[in-house]
Structure 1
Amino acid sequence: MRRFSTEETARSYFERIRWPDGPVCPHCGNTEKNYARTANKKAGIREGMYTCKECRDTFTVTVGTVMERSHIPLNKWLIAFYMMCASKTQISALQLQRQLEIGSYRTALFLCARIRFALKDISPSGKLGGEVEADETYVGGKARGKGRGYTKNKTVIVSLVQRDGDVRSHVAERVNGASIERLLRKHVEEGAHLNTDESPLYKKAGKRFASHERVNHSQEEYAYYDYRTGRTVTTNTVEGFFGNAKRSLDGTHHNVSPQHLHLYAAEIDFKYNTRKVTDGERTAKGIRGMEGKRLMYRAKKPA
């Protein structure tokens, strides 16, 4: 916070992260001879404004990112990025509002949502391979008069974890065998070894992989060693991921609406996938993820 106490220092940092080789016009993609403008309030020229040599349009480092048209100072944006990326669990909007002295809770909440959108991997490259564990969990409160097994008021998260690798989570209201098969087909290599519990959701989808082994939790079986293949069959990795995720959600936010749960899951995935780097490297990676993304308060009405 001392290092980036002003907008100027924060803007320079954002520019170095987004444009390591110099300013790039977000309107036409031109990289040649884009030049900085001298700030002039009367002429409507702000600090950090550039003019494109090709299309002659003006831009700043926030154009074409989740920060576009935001009135929050850039140093507060940068500190918020760091706080959310460095936190081992999650940061509440109320905490950000207090510590960054943001005017309203609504603004702080939208700030958090836009940062989570920046962390979201919209187009993951490659597929998961090797030993892949798949499982689902349900997020939501208890229904009055219903038992623990009642899930109609909950939202399901399906996560795929490659052992010693990345995780990919998918949020949906309901899942069935067909949706699970589409998800596995999209994200898992055919040569992978699939590990699940005894749920029938994965029975048909598992046939397309090199192997599909299951552990029977109802019989208190959680892991076993297959001497024929020399592999350990378990879903402990994905269940451990769910345990940390639920503690993060329940302990920090207490309640998350199904409409925005995918953004919270994206933040949890991002932190898991960058668990082997420093907080500074994780923050820089998160900032790079804001490129080409916009998140509006309300969706635009169709023309």
Structure 2
Amino acid sequence: MNLTDARFQDPDKAREWLELQRWPNGTHCTHCGSFSVTPLKGKAHRPGVWQCNDCRQQFTVTTGSVMERSKIPLNKWLLAMHLMASSKKGISAHQLHRVLGITYQSAWFLSHRIREAMSNDKSGPMGGGGKTVEVDETYFGKRETPLPSKQRKGRPFTKRGKAGPGGKRAVVSLVERGGKCRTFHVKHATAENVREVIVRNVSRDSVLNTDESRLYTEVGKEFAGHETVKHSANEYVRGDTHTNTVEGYFSIFKRGMKGVYQHCGEAHLHRYVAEFDFRYNNRSGLGVEDTERTAKIIEQAAGRRLTYRRIGEAKNA
């Protein structure tokens, strides 16, 4: 997809392209689903407004999507979606503000609405018979409500068997080998919380691969197999047993969070992990390129809304 394409330069071309993407089988009412619709024309109506002949309600291609009621031109929405879909480590709201020629506040809100479209419902279990799912947790940033350390002052929690480095945010990721990943921000990295994430998302017929952390000792017994590598003894690969895939995902995630976004409020972290999950799950290695990735965002944007009032709602696994 060329950034000089007309859909990125002309709001009307952008609207026409969006209509083809959202309504490939013909325009239908976003309120009742009826195909009996009429375009409203004339000076009294802006381009792209339709009226349903059944429920009599008016609608546009953005109705019932993350773009609804936005005053940002549609060509700038499409350009922002393409930039977020094609930037492996993300693109900051400040960069979007400069590229799109909109205010920083608008760029920040727009990027969060696109992340809302990037999130998936995480339906269906990962893995299955004969498949391996790698699980690991990482810690980064600073908790906005730090946990009191049970160890002596100045000595952080250790990763092995404890709640993670003191004052850090915990993120748990599940990666199916050769497949997709699901990542969660957990309020406390405890064996109970980690178990809940794993059993809710991974088929019991799968083989788990983890490090030696005691977070996974008991939950591993609930699956077809549980293999570990002992990182503390400099063991990283033993035959087919390793956590290199999930570590590779974390390397992309951390570089983006530290190098591009730099600061992320804890209440918004679940949307940032959804963004990195989306690009990983629709990567070139799975045959998905930038154009298809952008189209996927548009497809998932339908039926979702994110208002400014809701944007600060925190969500933990």
TM over 0.5, shorter chain: yes
Q: List aligned pairs for 1:168-183, cutoff 5 A.
A: 168-183=182-197
**Residue 38 (structure 1) aligned with residue 46 (structure 2):** no
**Residue 251 (structure 1) aligned with residue 259 (structure 2):** yes
**Residue 138 (structure 1) aligned with residue 139 (structure 2):** yes
Q: How far has the Cα of 1:172 moved from its partner? A: 1.8
Q: What is the distance in 2 between the residues matched to 1:139 and 1:64?
A: 35
Offset from partner CA, 1:66-115 (integer Å, 9 cap, x none): 0011000000000100011011211011111111100x211110011000
Q: RMSD across aligned C-alpha pairs, in angstroms?
A: 2.0
SS in 1 for 2:46: coil
Q: What is the distance in 1 between the residues matched to 2:263 and 2:236?
A: 30
Q: Percent identity?
A: 43
Question: 1:210: which partner in 2?
Answer: 224
Q: What is the distance in 1 between the residues matched to 2:156 and 2:122?
A: 38
Contact 1:85 1:283 in 2 (8 A): yes
Q: How far has the Cα of 1:11 moved from its partner? A: 0.4
Contact 1:154 1:173 in 2 (8 A): no
Question: 2:301: which partner in 1?
Answer: 290
Contact 2:126 2:176 in 1 (8 A): no
Match of 2:249 among 237, 241, 251: 241
> Could you tell me which amino acid in structure 2 is paired with residue 240 of structure 1?
G
Question: 1:124: which partner in 2?
Answer: 123
> Could you tell me which amino acid in structure 2 is paired with residue 245 of structure 1?
F
Question: 1:108: which partner in 2?
Answer: 107
Contact 2:122 2:182 in 1 (8 A): no
Q: What is the distance in 2 between the residues matched to 1:177 and 1:160?
A: 15
Q: What is the distance in 2 between the residues matched to 1:218 and 1:179?
A: 23
Question: 1:229: which partner in 2?
Answer: none
Q: What is the distance in 1 between the residues matched to 2:167 and 2:28?
A: 47
Contact 2:185 2:269 in 1 (8 A): yes
SS in 2 for 1:48: coil
The number of residues matched between the two structures is 289
Question: 2:10: which partner in 1?
Answer: 6
SS in 2 for 1:263: helix
Question: 1:86: which partner in 2?
Answer: 86
Q: Which has the higher mean CA deviation after the structures are superposed, 259-268 or 45-54? A: 45-54
Contact 2:142 2:169 in 1 (8 A): no
Q: How far has the Cα of 1:291 moved from its partner? A: 1.0
Unaligned runs of 5+ in 2: 147-152, 159-163, 312-317
Shift in alpha-carbon separation, 1:146–1:64, aligned structure 2, 3 A: farther
Q: What is the distance in 2 between the residues matched to 1:122 and 1:111?
A: 21
> Could you tell me which amino acid in structure 2 is paired with residue 23 of structure 1?
T
SS in 1 for 2:267: coil
Offset from partner CA, 1:4-40 (integer Å, 9 cap, x none): 211110001111111111122221222x222211143
TM-score by length of 2: 0.86
Q: How far has the Cα of 1:147 moved from its partner? A: 5.3
Q: Which has the higher mean CA deviation after the structures are superposed, 20-29 or 53-62? A: 20-29
> Could you tell me which amino acid in structure 1 is paired with residue 242 of structure 2?
T
Contact 2:157 2:166 in 1 (8 A): no
TM-score by length of 1: 0.90
Q: Which has the higher mean CA deviation after the structures are superposed, 147-156 or 279-288? A: 147-156
Shift in alpha-carbon separation, 1:256–1:146, aligned structure 2, 3 A: farther
Shift in alpha-carbon separation, 1:114–1:195, aligned structure 2, 3 A: same
Q: What is the distance in 2 between the residues matched to 1:120 and 1:99?
A: 24
Q: How far has the Cα of 1:224 moved from its partner? A: 0.3
Q: List aligned pairs for 1:134-283, cutoff 5 A.
A: 134-141=135-142, 151-225=165-239, 232-276=240-284, 277-283=288-294
Q: What is the distance in 2 between the residues matched to 1:140 and 1:168?
A: 20
Q: How far has the Cα of 1:182 moved from its partner? A: 1.8
Unaligned runs of 5+ in 1: 226-231
Q: What is the distance in 2 between the residues matched to 1:291 and 1:123?
A: 17
